[in-house]
Structures are given as C-alpha cells and as structure tokens.
Amino acid sequence: MTDTTYDGWTAARVAASLLTSERTRTARTSIQAEWPGLTLDIAYAAQDIALADRRSRGETITGIKLGLTSRAKQKQMGVDEPSVAWLTDAMALPAGLPILRDRLIHPRAEPEIAFILGRPLTGPGVTAAQALSAAEYVTGAIEIIDSRYSGFKFTLADAVADNNSSGVYITGPVLRRVDEVDLSLEACLLEVDGDIHDTATGSAVLGHPAEALAFAANTFGARGITLEAGWVVLTGGMTDAVAVDPGSRVGAHFTSLGSITVAGG
C-alpha cells in the first residue's frame, strides 16, 4: 500500500484530521472529496493509526464494531459488504447515564445484537457456525454513532477512516448463551419518546448476526489481527439510526435480550 498518493495526504494525516474533528466536535467535509486517492486499505490504516493514538492516551480495546451489515444500508451506500472498526473503553457508556453532548457532534442511535467472545477467533476462513461457537454470550445493545462528516455524508472509505462513525455504546442487562436464542428471529422495537420508530429482527444483519461475526473475524484476520476472548462485538444496526436530541429518550426492546433506554443529555 502506498501511504501518500495525492496532494500531501497520508493515512496519518487522515487519522489526525478525523481525531481533531472528534476532539473539537467540529464536522468536516468528506475526505475522499478532497482526496480521491483515499482507498479502503488506506482508510483501514488510518483507523489503526487513530487506535494507536487512543491507546497512547490510556484507552484500552474492548472489542470491535461492524457497519453496513443491513442490506438496506448497503444498497443506500452503494456497497455490497460491511466494514469493521474498533471499540475502546472510552466508548462504553454505563447503563443509566445520559449521552454526553459535549463529546459528540450529531449522535444517532441504532439497536444492535452484540456478542461477548468466550475464546479467541482468528480468520480468514471462519464460517458463521465457527464464529458462533466462539461466542460465549449474546446481548442487546444500543450504539450511538457520531460521524465526523457534515450531515452524515460520506463514502465507504470515509466511514472506515472515521472508525465507522464510532461514538459510544451501551450493552443490555440481559446475557444469554448463544444456543438459548434464535438470533435470526430475535426481534427489536426501537422507540423514541414513547413512539415506535422502527422494528427489525436479527435476520436484518446479513441474514444472521453470526455472519457478521464471521465477516469481522475474517476481515481482521486478513490484517493479522485475532478477535480476543472477552471482546464485545457489535454486529451492526438492525434498523436505521435515529437522531438523539437533547432531552429525548431512545429505547431498544428485544424479544429475549431485555430493554435498554438512553437519554439525550
């Protein structure tokens, strides 16, 4: 991979620009619009550089997240596969705490099915069945995504470089063994201030959330990275994301994985 291909841009410069936007809560235009040479390989390199910066500031890896696992979102973005990114402890929001608006630009919430890995998982070549056998628990989650791009307008490479629009995430109070839940049929109702916003089942996530876990293991495995025991894996939004306005309350209610509610601060 060539790090510099156009107009002085590098993977390191991409990472620094997006981290600055995150720290200052200042949205920017698409990087790929400024630098057509931004590729997925360079975007993933920028993602890893940003992770190294986070770790240098004391953050620890808690897991990974997937984006674009919904067929509808893939069609909307004009892509045919998901993307992956990192989670750290600074992104984990304890249940009951409001979303801190002073650290986010334009937060949006989406309900997700999350796995807790019981053993390491290394790709490539991992099947959905093998991925599922590595997961010890499954739980519900709400991810609060927060793009660093104005109006959430970006390309796939932009999104990958931006750590898949990472913000914060909340995992639910109910843990189930993976063999206790039919994840393709696990339903979720997303409500905002008491009104139903959307509904979906686990089949919205690549047909089955285990397919998303396998994709993540194989994608990271191709980069020489193993998914570690204890990591959280957010498998991607089951529904479209909804804006979290100050004072609003967003709830995700699952068939067997309990309920999660978060308030906009």
- Contact, 21 vs 166, CB < 8 A? no
Write the DSSP symbol of residue 227: B
Q: How confident is residue 6, by pLDDT bands cut at 50, 70 and 90? A: low
Residue with tokens 């953050």: 59
pTM above 0.85, yes or no: yes
The yes or no reply on domain 11-263 and CATH 3.90.850.10 is: yes
Look at residue 126 and tell me whether its pLDDT is greater than 60. Answer: yes
The sign of the CA dihedral 37, 41, 45, 47 is positive
Would you state the pLDDT for residue 83?
96
- Contact, 71 vs 240, CB < 8 A? no
238-252 per-position pLDDT tens digit: 998 999 999 999 999
Residue with tokens 């920028």: 46
- Contact, 212 vs 184, CB < 8 A? no
Would you state the pLDDT for residue 101?
75
- Contact, 128 vs 211, CB < 8 A? yes
Say how many C-beta atoms besides its own lie within 10 A of residue 125's C-beta.
10
8-41 per-position pLDDT tens digit: 899 999 999 999 999 999 999 999 999 999 999 9
Look at residue 5 and tell me whether its pLDDT is greater than 70. Answer: no
Q: Give the distance, in angstroms, between the CA of residue 87 and the centroid of all CA atoms in the same chain.
A: 8
161-205 per-position pLDDT tens digit: 999 999 999 999 999 999 999 999 999 999 999 999 999 999 999
Percent of the chain with pLDDT over 90: 88
Q: How many CA atoms lie within 13 A of 215 on its CB side?
A: 22
Respond yes or no on whether the N-terminal peptide bond of residue 94 is cis (omega within 30° of 0): no
- Contact, 237 vs 169, CB < 8 A? no
Cα–Cα distance, 48 to 183 (Å, whole number)? 31
Q: DSSP string of 13-65?
A: HHHHHHHHHHHHT--B--HHHH-TT--HHHHHHHHHHHHHHHHHTT--EEEEE
Tokens of 78: 């004009």
Would you state the pLDDT for residue 215?
97
Cα–Cα distance, 227 to 216 (Å, whole number)? 8
Give me the mean pLDDT over the 84-91 stretch: 98
Closest CA relative to residue 49, chosen from 8, 13, 102, 91:
13
Containing 198, the helix (H) or strand (E) segment is strand 195-201
C-alpha distances in Å from residue 242, one per residue of 73, 206, 265: 14, 21, 15
